[in-house]
Amino acid sequence: MGGGQTLNFGLGHLDTFAWLGAFSAAPNTKPPAELVPDPAAARKLKLLMITCGSKDGLFRISKGVQTYLKEKEVPYVWHVDDHGHDPTHWSAALYNFSQKIFR
- Could you report the per-residue pLDDT of 42-69, keeping only the tens digit for each? 999 999 999 999 999 999 999 999 999 9
| 3-class secondary structure, 49 | strand
**In the 8-state DSSP scheme, what is residue 73?**
T
- Residue 50 within any structural domain of the chain: yes
User: 12 φ, ψ to 5°?
Assistant: -85, -10
How many structural domains does the chain have?
Answer: 1
- Residue 80 within any structural domain of the chain: yes
Q: 2 pLDDT band (50/70/90 cuts)?
A: confident
- Residue 92 within any structural domain of the chain: no
Q: Residues with Cβ < 8 Å from 51, sequence gap 6 or more? A: 21, 22, 23, 24, 62, 78, 79, 80, 81, 89, 93, 96, 97
What pLDDT is stored for residue 1 in this prediction? Answer: 66
Range of the domain at 59: 2-87
